[in-house]
A and B are shown apart, each in its own frame.
Chain A
Amino acid sequence: MSELSTNHLLGIKYLNLEDIELIFKTADQFKEVINRPIKKVPSLRDITIANLFFENSTRTKLSFELAEKRLSADIINFSAASSSVKKGETLIDTVNNILSMKVDMVVMRHPNAGAGVFLSQHVNASIINAGDGAHEHPTQALLDCYSIKQKYGDIKGLNVVIVGDILHSRVALSNIFALQKLGANVKVCGPATLLPKHIESLGVGIESNLIKALEWCDVANMLRVQNERMNMSFFPSTREYVLQYGLNKKILNALPKKITIMHPGPINRGVEITSDVADSKQSIILEQVENGVAIRMAAIYLLAAKIKHE
């Protein structure tokens, strides 16, 4: 097995276990590449990639850009704030205009769920979803699982809890799919207002008490409260959220075993986790960022292998 089963990376839902394992195996090799004195390989020098960000991003955009550059691809960047989207151009028109400049692959972040799937049905290019609304963020889930695998050797049988704003989180959904495909037990934990209805139908456990959730888990993925997506009050005050669902060093140290702390970033320090937890030895937040480049290189490399130039 050395080929992905799909031509696009739209979500973890569309990948099978072999795809995920192939991406991890390829990422191992790229991780070695990005630790060389010269961190660049010429594999994709005849590929052009457009990074279309219709929504703000720092980490993901930089990580994709770096991954593309390390593979020697040509890249063009686009952000909606300074473009014709503001003049009323539709998504398909925007992308088709960019594709007529002979672009082979599109990395897209979009505020609407399903934008990547929609695009893949209407344009002739390989699409990577870099986050679509509150739907999926596949590369983040892949790098999270890869980081867990790196720490524990195997994901099968591990207990992972995702804490915080599940309702507005694309990271949560992609992580749930990826962790379950890899054999982990998943629970979500947060205030009832921030848990999607019927989330238990995905086969995840629900825990409203943070301490209980942390006592159960091996790995805790602490999500950010996405204030920018909240158009109403989901909890009385930030202070009350911190008291109920904020993770601090005192709680961490009182747990029966040493759990691993993850965070997809950006961190609201002092809200979902305190600084001393984020910077503690149990946190693998910076490893996640490093692995992000290797995982994205692997995904792009494997998708590019399926592009055939005439």
Chain B
Amino acid sequence: MANRQLLIDSKKIHVILHRLVNQLIEKHLDFSNTVLIGLQPRGIDLANRIKKILEEDYQIRNIQLGYLDITFFRDDFRRNEKPLAANQTQIDFLVENKRVVFIDDVLFTGRSIRAALTAVQSFGRPSGIELLTLVDRRFSRHLPIQPDYVGCQVDAINSEKVLVMWQEKDGEDAVYLVEK
């Protein structure tokens, strides 16, 4: 990739993740009535990492983590050139009366979150839903949706893409700004 600019390096990501985890603990204590839901496809890496930190560094066990795919709930079906390919949804629990935390890597227009809010209803009626995102692209929302936990805020124009890389999948932890 020729035109890419490093926004956050791995050291800073490490600090941000621990801060986000601490904010989660502050609000959810032992997570006994809380479930984490990573949004497919890129939110699940962040969700896995958060769960790992909660377990390994803060000894919080029995965290329920699911993956939610929102493809069938999107509002741009048949408006794209190519049909949308679905990913796996893996939620082995009901969210009825649970406190749900959606986890996604980048919050942009808010349309994915709108779809996720509908999709999660297939698994019950949660007592509340919060949103955690690593990168919040400010001033680009199409819908009145705001995150509860934010890693960092980025101002980018529409022709740019924010790319989050993970050690496990991409070989490094980093956030890049890429020309589309």
Contacts and interface: CB of A to CB of B under 8 A. Distances in A.
Interface of A: 2-3, 25-26, 28-29, 32-33, 36-44, 46, 71, 301-302, 304-309
B123 interface: yes
B73 A305 contact: no
Contacts of B86: 26, 29
6 smallest A-B Cβ distances: which pairs? Answer: A305-B83, A41-B72, A38-B122, A2-B85, A29-B86, A43-B72
Given A37-B122, A37-B124, A41-B73, A308 B83 contact: no
A302 B90 CA distance: 22
A122 B100 CA distance: 51
B82 A38 contact: no
B23 interface: no
A44 B78 CA distance: 9
A163 to B, nearest CB: 36
B121 interface: yes
B73 A42 contact: yes
Given A33-B72, A37-B94, A309-B78, 12 more contacts: A2-B82, A29-B89, A32-B89, A33-B122, A37-B122, A42-B73, A43-B77, A44-B77, A304-B78, A305-B83, A307-B78, A308-B78
Contacts of B82: 2-3
A2 B83 CA distance: 6
Contact of B123 (A37, A41, A71): A37
B94 to A, nearest CB: 7
A36 B83 contact: no
Main SS at interface, chain A = loop
A95 B3 CA distance: 54
> Which of A3, A42, A44, A306 has the most chain B CB atoms closer than 10 A to its own CB?
A42
Contacts of B71: 29
B25 interface: no
Contact of A42 (B69, B72, B83, B85): B72
A67 to B, nearest CB: 13
A75 B77 CA distance: 19
Nearest to B118: A42
B84 interface: yes
A26 B83 CA distance: 11
Contacts of B83: 2-3, 301-302, 305-306
A83 B146 CA distance: 54
Contacts of A33: 72, 89, 122
Nearest to B124: A37
Interface string B92-126: 00100000000000000000000000110111100
B88 interface: yes
Contacts of B72: 29, 33, 41-43, 71, 301
23 contacts: A2-B82, A2-B83, A2-B84, A3-B83, A28-B88, A29-B86, A29-B87, A32-B88, A32-B89, A37-B122, A37-B123, A37-B124, A42-B72, A43-B72, A43-B74, A43-B77, A44-B77, A71-B72, A301-B83, A302-B83, A305-B84, A306-B83, A308-B78
